[in-house]
Amino acid sequence: MEWPTYLDEYEKLVIRMNTPRVVIDNAVCPTATVVQVDSARKRGVLLEAVQLLTDLDLSIKKAYVSSDGRWFMDVFHVTDQFGRKLADESVISYIQQSLGTWKYGPERATESEGLTALELTGTDRPGLLSEVFAVLAELQCGVAEGKAWTHNGRIACVVFVNDSVSGCPIADDLRIRRIESRLRHLIKGDRRGTVAAASPSPSAPAHVDRRLHQLMLADRDYENAGGAAESPPQSVVVVVVQDWAERGYSVVTVQCRDRPKLLFDVLCTLTDMEYVVFHGTIHTHRDQAHQEFYIRHADGTPIRSEAERQRVIQCLRAAIERRSSQGVRLELCAVDRPGLLMEVTRTFRENGLLVARAEVSTKGEMASNVFYVTDAAGQPADLKVIEAVRRKIGEDRLYVKEEPRPHYHRKASGDREEANGGGGGIGLFHLGNFVMRNLFNLGLIRS
């Protein structure tokens, strides 16, 4: 390792002592790769580890989190997107290097570095996203990358733009202010709506999903908006918050359908709400996920009031529902050109389709975009309408694809007790048996 010249020998020693130790084992578990991270406890390191694993499209089947004083240990049972153990040595090496590196320098460069970041929140309405892309196209802004989420009648959008003619970053402050003004006009009258732009700088959000969670939390999308569509029965989310006064913890239990990035979404919200996770277990069985966390405020105190408890429940439900599958998944793969997004989303609007969620990316000359569309009432769109839209945009460019789902392994009879551990209810009885048993097995607490 090459050390910066400004570090003395004592500082180098401290870095060596605190650098995480990462062990990746393919032998200990028959169905998953075990990733173990040991390090000095540092706020946010758990979220960073989960973020890295989910960004690699890995599914976290189980996880045990525990901290003892100033030290912590995280154990993750992960599989690839096909439900198999990790076999790619380059992926294993990348995980070891990334999780086992002391970050004393700047963050790693991202594809969006140097571009202008635009952030928008406001009241969602039919055609709003189409209007946003139309304004950007009119102002000669090319969208290199971006995502948009809708939930409870609110929308949050983060896009990275450049000059559509030259392909260079937009460095003119006057032009950036004009873009802000035009976008702000779209949400005129919404007192909670915001539009912000950041000229090319390191302050642009390094992780778009994390930033979207922050924007929607600040926009209070967890408050039930009048007229907002109810969540479908299959996406029911159960969140329970209880006190463990004996140890001074608040215990958060989440039970819902398993899906990619579920743990990341929950930890994002707990972190952004200024809570610290000291212990926890994550367990999935078939398509169900059970998560338990022992949390405190940053100052070491548990949840203080019933109002705060209800706010935690509302915010966690919202965090899980934001990314839940809504509508038909459409994938657009086409040669990128100015106005492409405007034309596609306008076609959706003209055919009565609403965009519930969107992911936009451009690599070289190709645009790869994903849209989740519903009808005007927020219900699954008519397949005849979908086919009509595909014919207009191009059947060789717009495809209907199912949402990727985690793969599940059948449990052996000896694992039946563990598999059924989370199905009988969620409360302190379940926590006291399931969580504490795993912490004892890891040698982190005494019997």
Interval 248-261: pLDDT, tens = 999 999 999 999 99
CB 274 within 8 Å of CB 311? no
Residues 271 and 314 occupy one common structural domain = yes
pLDDT for 189 equals: 80
> pLDDT per residue over 286-333, tens digit each?
889 999 999 999 899 999 999 999 999 999 999 999 998 678 999 999
**Same-domain status, 309 and 346:** no
What would the pLDDT profile of 32-82 be if each residue is shown by its tens digit?
A: 999 999 887 777 889 999 999 999 999 999 999 998 767 888 999 999 989
Answer yes or no: is 128 within a domain: yes
Q: Is the pTM of this model over 0.95?
A: no
DSSP conformational letter for 380: B
For residue 239, is it within any domain?
A: yes
Q: Do 301 and 329 belong to one domain?
A: no
Q: Indicate whether 316 and 239 sit together in one domain.
A: yes
Ramachandran bin of 327, using left for φ above 0, alpha for ψ from -120 to 50, beta for the remaining angles: left
Per the structure block, which two tokens stand in for 52?
């890295």
Is-contact 182 139, C-beta < 8 A?
yes
Does 83 fall in a domain?
yes
Q: Which of 253, 309, 245 is nearest to 281 (CA)?
A: 253
Mean pLDDT, range 172-190, rounded to an integer: 92
Question: Does residue 226 form part of some domain?
Answer: no
Distance CA 386, CA 173 (A): 41
Distance from C-alpha of 194 to C-alpha of 431, rounded to nearest angstrom:
41
Separation of alpha carbons 81 and 72, rounded Å: 28
204 inside domain: no
| pLDDT given for residue 190 in this prediction | 85
Mean of pLDDT values over 5-29? 73
Residue 234 pLDDT: 46
Say if CB 226 and CB 233 are below 8 A apart: no
What pLDDT does residue 357 have? 95
State the average pLDDT over residues 146-151: 96
Whole-angstrom distance, CA of residue 235 vs CA of residue 256: 7
Q: Are residues 252 and 329 in the same domain?
A: no
Sorted by sequence, the CB contacts under 8 Å of residue 49 that are 6+ apart come out as: 37, 74, 76, 99
| One domain, residues 300 and 426 | yes
Do β-strands 238-244 and 194-198 pair in parallel, antiparallel, or remain unpaired? unpaired
Residues 416 and 318 in one domain: yes
Average pLDDT over residues 170-190: 91
pLDDT tens digits for range 122-133: 999 999 999 999
Whether 281 and 393 map to the same domain: the answer is no
Query: Are residues 285 and 346 located together in one domain of the fold?
Result: no
- Vertex 92: Cα angle to 255 and 286 (nearest 5): 25
What is the model's pLDDT at position 191? 84
Of 169, 220, 228, 225, nearest to 197 (Cα)?
169
* 301 and 434 inside one domain: yes
Query: Which residues span the domain enclosing 291?
Result: 233-323+410-441
Same structural domain, 420 and 301: yes
Q: Considering only 94-103, 123-132, 178-187, 244-253, which range has the smallest mean pLDDT?
A: 94-103
Report residue 9 as tokens.
């020998």
Average pLDDT of 212-226? 87
Determine the Cα–Cα distance for residues 210 and 55; give it in Å rounded to an integer.
Answer: 12
